[in-house]
Structure 1
Amino acid sequence: MSGSLWLKPPTTSPPLPSPPRPLRQEPPPAPVGHRTPGTASASVSGAPSAAPPATAADPLDELALRLDAFVAAAVHPDEIAALLEADGMTDDHIRLAYGRNDSFALAEDLYARGERRHPEPPRPEPRAPGRLAGLGGCLLRGLVFALPGLAHLLAGPLLAGAPGPYGLPSGTLPLLAGAVTGWVWNQALSHRAHTWLGLGDRAAAARALLTGAPAGALAGTAVAVAAARDGELPAALFAAGQSLYLAAATVLLVLGRERALLAALSPLLGALPALRWDLPDPLRVALPAVSLTAACLVAARTLRPGAARGAAGRGGPPLAASVPYGLFGLGSGVLVLHAGLGDSLAAGTGAVIALTLSMGPAEWLLHRFRGGSLARLRTLTTARAFRRAVTGTLLGCLGGYLTALLALTVAATLLWPGTPWPTPDRLLTLLLIGTVLWLGLLLQAFGAVLGAATVCLLAAAAQTLQPAAGPLAAGGAAAVLAVLSHVLLVRPTAHRA
């Protein structure tokens, strides 16, 4: 798994007006025999005559008119205050231009003036172009998440050696340590970059990636080297390349260059014959090296706007806001590793492949849930009807994801050589872990990432301390996340952009 599935709600807001300027009023026509003030003539009294003062329009009326659509759809004045502050309106400007103390007072006035209404439901879009493109894009992301696994297939014989710690094959520990470090770092980094993209500053997002991606690659390499033991130097070198790839993949996925990443990974398709036949060692080294080089070059080319432009003048989103996303990456990554390790590495291979490929359908179903919920928010008129509709949509999307995960597990077991059929206990654990991942991603998409991260970390810690408690830990985490998701998402305010 590489990159990020961090999703952000679409945000559209009307532009705010600039500070109002005094209206220029044309002087009234002077009567016959009368001259305008400022000329050499004077009035009868000897004082210069003056035109009556003009009355300017109330700037608050103009602002209310421009924000009418947003104010009408707002459910609380704080939404309007957030829009005003996000556009850079300071309290000084508000006092000068609108005669209110701050953004909250101005928002309350706008909210009181506006009429509550929702926009009409949008017309259905053409089925073929929009929906197929969305599904195709998500499936493409799932494919690029899974293709790097072919590099591990190629490098497997090169990393063989004496068993490592905890009875794992040689080189497993540095590879896992580097991968988990990359997942944690890049999940937090992708959130920060997506925040900049949400603010409409793509160059700032590129600058964040330009600084954070190399740092993440160095961190993953350092952790992998520190975890390596005697005789595991080849594994540490492979882990360094893995960390570099995760950094490049994060850049390309965040900036929407999935097709470029897929092209960079295409040399790894040469590993498919290794499923049946042995390949020469130079070819096993060359194919991953070519893909890694191509991914890094494409990422560097994509980041050129960030390198060409200087630092932004405004402060970015706080760094602390990205920490929960990294913690969620840690918890979910450890759960996936447990699904792959378990009591048999051969049996775990199919589980990891299925979970990785399922991230494509998972992302598409997340978008489907959001779109369906917004449609019901516009059409339903009672809170009870909305709760029932959202509950049904949530169950349907979760069921669709688990069905896709089960189908991918069967396909991976049939196609990957040497993979035994999963036992009922192992299959149940896999489906529970899939439930935890999908519900965690759903909560993350709606801003409740801290709760999702906490539950995933507790489940991962329980499974690490007591591997036999895998189904119990995953089942408990799935139940808690299901309750949290239902409590949060049946509220109409949770679906407001």
Structure 2
Amino acid sequence: MSGSLWLKPPTATPALPAPPRPREAGAGAGAGAGTAADPLDELAFRLDEFVAAAVHPDEIAALLESDGMTDDHIRLAYGRNDSFTLAEDLYARVVRRHPEPPRKHRSGPGRSEGLGGCLLRGLVFALPGLAYVLAGPLLAGAHGRYGLPAGTVPLLAGAVTGWVWNQALSHRAHTWLGLGDRAAAARALLTGAPAGALAGTAVALAAARDGELPAAVFAAGQSLYLAAATALLVLGRERALLATLLPLLGALPALRWDLPDPLRAGLPALSLTAACLVAAHALRPGTARGAAGRGGPPLAASVPYGLFGLGSGVLVLHAGLGDPSATGAGAVVALTLSMGPAEWLLHRFRGGSLDRLRTLTTARAFRRAVSGTLLLCLGGYLTVLLGLTLAANLLGPGAPWPAPDRLLALLLIGTVLWLGLLLQAFGTVLGAATVCLLAAAAQTLEPAAGPLAAGGAAAVLAVLSHVLLVRPTTHRV
């Protein structure tokens, strides 16, 4: 679940005119200049294009304040008490005009990546699961812990470490890309990805116990793959990553027939080697002189993205571990595959909101339209998730029909994930990460409270999303 896919470089803010000097008493006397131009009319004229496209006066107030216009200056130059009063006057003076967006943006800037591209990402998220099908018999041991199969603990420990590290790394690299410095992004990935692989391997080895060494070795390969896949996904090399995963299709016969051990071990190793080589080739620009960039985004800014990866990853694990049968495995497969359509629907929401920002003329109409679009996109994602879950259970060998309570819990977790990704896309990642972490902690401490924890998290995120996204200023790019 790669985050930060919607980062963009900050756009330029229209410059405000220089503050007019107050007219002295008697100025223009003798020249018939007693009717000096109103400074507010001049300001409205110079900001005409921005004010005409504003959906709410708060947008104008934000522009005035961002340019450093203080209340004292506003009282002196324009005779208004503050930026909000001045913004309301400007809003009332200028007729609403929302120009037709350029043809290339008719579908919204977030929709340049079509459904096919997002489905491709969902596929590359899910295909690595075939490696577990192949290697499963090689990892089986005599005893497990916490009621889990042998080897599960080091595998989960390495995977969660990778999710946390690579979410934060992905955000940092995407920030460099948003600044237009692809070489610096490659450099960040070149240094961060191997460090993440080492961290995942170390945690998996530390979590392993007697008889779990094969699982720890597999976890090391898993950490290495996550590092390579993160680099390729951030750089937009999904098709190359998909090609490296093709050897894992050898797992399909393993669903019905037993395969020799060398083949079970060789196919994942071949796929892993190919992914690492392709990633190394893609990261070559990071070795160039000056690729480290100058300054760059603060490291602390990427921490909330790692925390969101931790919370969402634990919730996904609970979706599968809460039901050790094939139904639980089908839930994890469905959640993983659904990340592709989820990403596309996030693009649809952002693009549709920007279209409405350009065409609607009142704040009330904008709030209603955005609320409807939010419900439509969330409902579309949950419908896709439900369909994938039912399909996974129908196609699975001997999988029972999922119980209604398990389906409800899965849909609540899906709601948390989609709304969390939506808030992350609009820069409110800390709130989303906090809610996901609290829900994951509650479900870990008391598994029976899983649906209640996920439902509470979904409700909180729904309120946060609505409060944030009905404001027109949130969507200005």
TM-score, length-normalised on structure 2? 0.82
Displacement of 1:120: 2.5
**1:147-296 alignment runs, 5 A limit:** 147-296=127-276
Counterpart of 2:365 in structure 1 is 385
Q: Does 1:310 align with 2:290?
A: yes
In structure 2, the CA distance between the partners of 1:68 and 1:9, relative to structure 1 (3 Å rule), is: farther
Q: What letter matches 2:182 in structure 1?
A: R
Contact 2:349–2:373, Cα closer than 8 Å, also in 1: yes
Displacement of 1:77: 7.1
**1:318-397 alignment runs, 5 A limit:** 318-397=298-377
Q: 2:100 aligns with which of 120, 137, 155?
A: 120
In structure 2, the CA distance between the partners of 1:136 and 1:165, relative to structure 1 (3 Å rule), is: same
Contact 1:324–1:449, Cα closer than 8 Å, also in 2: yes
Displacement of 1:161: 1.1
Residue by residue over 1:44-83, the C-alpha shift from the partner in whole angstroms, topping out at 9 and shown as x without a partner, is xxxxxxxxxxxxxxxxxxxxx9999779868357659979
Residue by residue over 1:333-389, the C-alpha shift from the partner in whole angstroms, topping out at 9 and shown as x without a partner, is 000000010142422100000000000000000000000000000111111111110
CA distance in 2, matches of 1:124, 1:309: 36
Q: 2:6 aligns with which of 5, 8, 12?
A: 8
Counterpart of 1:139 in structure 2 is 119
CA distance in 2, matches of 1:119, 1:126: 12
Contact 2:423–2:432, Cα closer than 8 Å, also in 1: yes
Q: 2:396 aligns with which of 416, 419, 427?
A: 416
Contact 2:158–2:201, Cα closer than 8 Å, also in 1: yes
Residue by residue over 1:399-445, the C-alpha shift from the partner in whole angstroms, topping out at 9 and shown as x without a partner, is 00000000100111112213222111111000000000000000000
CA distance in 2, matches of 1:258, 1:83: 41
CA distance in 2, matches of 1:201, 1:66: 34
Contact 1:182–1:243, Cα closer than 8 Å, also in 2: yes
Q: What letter matches 2:458 in structure 1?
A: A
Mean CA deviation greater in 303-312 or 353-362: 303-312
CA distance in 2, matches of 1:136, 1:202: 24
Provide the secondary structure at the position in 2 that maps to 1:156.
Answer: helix
Contact 1:16–1:66, Cα closer than 8 Å, also in 2: no
Counterpart of 2:465 in structure 1 is 485
Contact 2:326–2:396, Cα closer than 8 Å, also in 1: no
In structure 2, the CA distance between the partners of 1:208 and 1:459, relative to structure 1 (3 Å rule), is: same
> Between the two proteins, what is the percent identity of the paired residues?
83
| Structure 1 residues not aligned, in runs of 5+ | 18-64, 85-107
Contact 1:380–1:386, Cα closer than 8 Å, also in 2: yes
CA distance in 1, matches of 2:198, 2:63: 41
Equivalenced residue count is 423
Displacement of 1:213: 0.3
Rg comparison, structure with higher value: 1
In structure 2, the CA distance between the partners of 1:418 and 1:261, relative to structure 1 (3 Å rule), is: same
In structure 2, the CA distance between the partners of 1:184 and 1:290, relative to structure 1 (3 Å rule), is: same
Q: What letter matches 2:3 in structure 1?
A: L
CA distance in 1, matches of 2:430, 2:10: 25
**1:433-452 alignment runs, 5 A limit:** 433-452=413-432
Contact 1:71–1:80, Cα closer than 8 Å, also in 2: no
Provide the secondary structure at the position in 2 that maps to 1:276.
Answer: coil
Displacement of 1:242: 0.2
Contact 1:462–1:473, Cα closer than 8 Å, also in 2: yes
CA distance in 2, matches of 1:244, 1:14: 40
Q: What letter matches 2:259 in structure 1?
A: L
In structure 2, the CA distance between the partners of 1:230 and 1:118, relative to structure 1 (3 Å rule), is: same
Residue by residue over 1:111-134, the C-alpha shift from the partner in whole angstroms, topping out at 9 and shown as x without a partner, is x9xx8965423447799xx97961
Mean CA deviation greater in 178-187 or 158-167: 158-167
Provide the secondary structure at the position in 2 that maps to 1:421.
Answer: coil
Displacement of 1:167: 1.4
| Structure 2 residues not aligned, in runs of 5+ | 16-44, 69-85
**1:33-182 alignment runs, 5 A limit:** 75-76=59-60, 118-123=98-103, 134-182=114-162
Q: 1:468 aligns with which of 448, 455, 474?
A: 448
Counterpart of 2:40 in structure 1 is none
In structure 2, the CA distance between the partners of 1:9 and 1:243, relative to structure 1 (3 Å rule), is: closer
CA distance in 2, matches of 1:69, 1:207: 41
Contact 2:187–2:292, Cα closer than 8 Å, also in 1: no
Displacement of 1:13: 4.0
In structure 2, the CA distance between the partners of 1:69 and 1:223, relative to structure 1 (3 Å rule), is: farther
Contact 1:386–1:490, Cα closer than 8 Å, also in 2: yes
In structure 2, the CA distance between the partners of 1:80 and 1:160, relative to structure 1 (3 Å rule), is: farther
